[in-house]
Amino acid sequence: MQKNILLCISGGIAVYKAASLTSKLVQAGFHVKVIMTESACQFVTPLTFQALSRNPVYTDIFDEKDPSVIAHINLADWADLVIVAPATANSIGKLANGIADDMLTTTLLATRAPVWIAPAMNVHMYDHPAVKRNIERLYQDGYRFIEPSEGYLACGYVGKGRLEEPENITQLVEDHFTLNQNLLQGMSLLVTAGPTREKIDPVRFFSNLSSGKMGFAIAEQAAKLGAKVTLVTGPSHLIDPVNVKVIRIESASDMYDHVMEQFPLNDIVIKSAAVADYKPAITYNEKMKKQDGVLTIEFERTIDILKTLGTMKGDKVLVGFAAETGRIEEYAKKKLLSKNLDMVVANNVNEKGAGFQGDTNIVSFFMKNGVVKHLPMMDKKDVALELLNEVFAIWSEKK
């Protein structure tokens, strides 16, 4: 399927390279639309990019070319990948501080697609503490950077700051969409997601704050990468991912039964569900009435599903999650060993952008071979892709 590239061009002498980039992306089979800032239009006219992309060029947020849609929202939703090239110090500073005062910055704040930033500026500007600070902030927010190359700059200096060559950027885009397209082809994955509900009486239950978004993202991305995916999920309002077999359950006991049933049928198990560790020892058939004084409910342990799988995994890949509030590395490594896992995905749920319910996460991968990989805050779908790449590497080593 043809992928949609939104090319965002800010004002610098390197705009002439963006014309070449547009042409090369179109030749590579991508559908390209272009946004230009007012300054960019001073270097190369929008007509050039219209001819090269074969699409209208967007320069003014108030110029609505199609009255049936809001242009910047429509473009933000349309894109599979956004590239800012060239990205000036000014545009990077605006993005880092959430400023949306033109078509380019407004669209970038609205998109959920991956955003790649290709800086181009004077060598001293690129090395300025404010620019470095803004780049780091954007990186932590999930933006990715195409590092500028070194060479002769328009200002006369020689150094780092030259926009990466269009051929190299095009190759990066092709790799992004094609290298992993069939990464998991022929594999079977079992993913668990969401919370469980442990019934107290007909109107009350014991549960947790998990939304299931991380597990659903993993299942969705795994299916896109060619895997046969089964998702066992606790209560969630999320829509079933496309091409995924979904089994909806309520309790930890239900989760155990279905996971045990599906386990022999799968090569890889990614257990992201937040399964209750305890359940009420007694479940009442009628609603408990309030009484004076303190209410005490006795709890008993549920079956540790992950530990059980660890004892029987054989050559399968088994991944667990550790949602912690402190001592992340200590608890993750302990879980890795005690449950015989190949990998633990750990996060601090108290950290902004990493807790339950949200669309982003900040995780660390702890591998059985001792490797630890820390990721910045990313959309959960991007975290899922990073995770699946690591899982594939583990699977390949086993084979």
339-375 tens-digit pLDDT: 999 999 999 988 888 878 888 899 999 999 899 998 8
Judge whether 277 is annotated as a binding position: yes
Q: Are 294 and 267 in contact (CB under 8 A)?
A: no
pLDDT at 67: 83
pLDDT at 152: 53
Across the range 61-71, mean pLDDT stands at 86
Among 58-67, 86-95, 300-309, which stretch is predicted with the lowest mean pLDDT?
58-67
pLDDT at 154: 56
Residues of the chain with CATH 3.40.50.10300: 188-398
**239: Cβ contacts below 8 Å, ≥ 6 apart:** none
Please give the model's pTM, rounded to 2 decimal places.
0.61
Residues of the chain with CATH 3.40.50.1950: 4-178
pLDDT at residue 268 is higher than 70: yes
Superfamily name with CATH number, domain 188-398? CoaB-like (3.40.50.10300)
pLDDT digits (tens, 9 = 90+) for 207-257: 988 999 999 999 999 998 889 999 999 999 999 988 899 999 999 999 999
Query: Shortest CA distance to 387 belongs to which of 337, 347, 339?
Result: 347
Judge whether 339 is annotated as a binding position: yes
Q: Which residue has the tokens 């309790």?
A: 251
pLDDT at residue 280 is higher than 70: yes
Local confidence band at 270 (pLDDT 50, 70, 90 cut-offs):
very high
pLDDT at 111: 94
Q: Which residue has the tokens 């209560």?
A: 235
Average pLDDT value over all residues in the chain: 91
Judge whether 30 is annotated as a binding position: no
pLDDT digits (tens, 9 = 90+) for 31-64: 999 999 999 999 999 999 999 999 999 999 998 8
Integer Cα distance of 316 and 341 in angstroms = 10
Across the range 178-199, mean pLDDT stands at 87
Looking at residue 367, its amino acid is M
Please identify every residue annotated as catalytic: 155
Q: What is the CATH number of domain 4-178?
A: 3.40.50.1950
pLDDT at residue 274 is higher than 90: yes
Q: Which residue has the tokens 């051929």?
A: 167
pLDDT at 340: 97
Which residues in 191-230 are b (16+ Cβ under 10 Å) and which e? bbbbbbbbbbeeeebbbbebbbbbbbbbbbbbbbbbbbbb
